[in-house]
Each structure stands twice: as C-alpha cells, then as structure tokens.
Structure 1
C-alpha cells in the first residue's frame, strides 16, 4: 500500500495563490475522483477559485502546465492516469509526463502537483482516486503538495527559509 510515511500536514491559508488544475480526460471515473480531491484540497487551503483545464490525456499535461505556469499561476496541479497495457505505451507516456512536468517546474520555478497515477490495473487507479471506496486520495495529495510548495517558493523568493 502506498501512502505509508506521508507527512502529517495541516492545511494553511493559500487564498492569495493563483492555482490551476490541469486534468486528463481518459478514465472518467478515476479522473472525476482526482479532480474532486484536488478541489477539496483547494477549499481546505482556502483557494477560492482554482482554474480547471481539461486535456485529452496524460501525455498532454506538460504542455498545458507549461502554458499555465507561463501565465503566472503559483501552483499547477497535474492530474492523469495511465494504466499498464500490453505495449510499451505505458512507459513512454509515464516517462514523458514525468519528465515534462519536472521541466515545467524547473523552467518556471512553479510548484507542480504531480497527481499522475501509474497503475497496473483499473482497480489500483480506483483505489487511489479519492472516491467513496478508495483507500487514498491522490488528487488531494497532489494539490496539497503543490500549495505547500508554492508557499515555500514564495518564502524563499522573499529571502526567508
């Protein structure tokens, strides 16, 4: 079970952050759960109106996250799911999404919440999607990480540690 050792993190006031959520469209039930979790985290962290953008799939997340970061968003939460199949497609898409989102974070010095599920089965994805019967809420976790990182970046830029 993943999630063991997660930090005990309490929501803080992030009302002054500009936040975008970019979400893939494949696997609608899983994606609805991930988006719902990210939106719950935004509410808990007092982000009033996160901007939601949908893209076709996980492969398209980095280019849209890049455009959002270039527009000055303080945090971008990237949500997607890739389920292993019988071809190398899984490895290519997972690698491209991970590398691309990392590049966006570094190029723009923008907090990127990595909410891309890389699962062997749909059951694993559903278990991490933040749905009623899920054991984990990776959409929430990705948004919380992005918001906390955005606050840390703001402090670093102001000369605080």
Structure 2
C-alpha cells in the first residue's frame, strides 16, 4: 500500500456543487469507513446536502452513477470494495465496475470519485477504509479528488484562468 506521494489536501469551498454518493453495501465495516471519510470530505469542502444512494454491491455502482449523472450532479463519488477470492469473480467485477465508472465520467463529462477498493484480503481493505487504525482514508481521498476535478472542469467550461 502506497499512500506515498499523495497531494496535500486543503479543503476549499464547494458549497455550490451538487454532489451524489453511490455506495455498495457488501463488507459493511469497510463500507462504513469509506462512507464516513466521504461525508467528512464533503463537510470540510462545504458541500451542502449531498445525496447518498446505497446499492447491493460494486457491480451496481456504474448504472446508478450513470443515473445520478443524468440528474445533473457536478460529481458522483463511487464507493465499494471487492476482495479477491478463489475464483475469477474478483477480476470480472473489478473490471466491469472500473470500466463502467470510467465510461460514466467520459459520457457525462463529470468526475467520478473512484473509491472502489480492490484488495487481496480484508486486512488491506481495512487499512484503506479510514477507520481507527487504518493507514489510509480512500473515501476522503476519492471525494477530494472528484471535488478538485469538478472545480477544474467548471473553470475550463467558463474559460477561466486555471493558473499554472
């Protein structure tokens, strides 16, 4: 697990962004941590009234993210966890969810916060879930990245100076 080289996060004002969160339900303890990290990031970035939708598993994330994108949200945060097992299921679900979320982002031109953990075991997932004792908070990180991207896209669309 890296965590090395991640950008310094300084919350900034996103009060006027419409943000939705779609979160899987499998692996409840990990998902609770990811969702808490996401909600913390949204609060620190002053996002008002985010919409939170729960789905059964990570495979369902793209279709619901797509439906939310069609509703005009500025960003959608996708949270899930897939833990490797003894069958090819891990590869199929990981690939389908990742490809689907990428397609939603490109089709709608909005950032999808990629909070989908793909781990070899539960210990790795817990280390990334933002819980007490976790080494990383991928829910917070995915949310912050999506918000930064949403602001950048807004500036590009308004032809504002982006800085450099």
Normalising by structure 2, we get a TM-score of 0.97
Per the TM alignment, residue 133 of structure 1 is displaced from its structure 2 partner at its CA by: 1.1
* Structure-2 residue corresponding to 1:29: 29
Cα distance in 1, alignment partners of residues 42 and 92 from structure 2? 31
1:16 partnered with 2:16 = yes
The match for 2:59 is: 59
Q: Deviations over 1:72-128 (max 9, x none)?
A: 000100000000000000000000011000000000001110000000000110010
Structure 2 unmatched ranges of 5 or more: none
- Asked if residue 7 in structure 1 is aligned to residue 2 in structure 2, the reply is no
- Tell me which residue corresponds to 1:150: 150
Runs of 4+ in structure 1 deviating by more than 6 angstroms, as ranges, are: none
> How many residues were matched structurally?
161
Per-residue deviation, 1:9: 2.6
Structure 1 unaligned segments of length 5 or more: list them. Answer: none
- Write out per-residue CA displacement over residues 53-78 of structure 1, whole angstroms, 9 at most, x where no aligned residue: 00000000000000000100001000
Correspondence list, 1:127-138, <5 A = 127-138=127-138
Normalising by structure 1, we get a TM-score of: 0.98
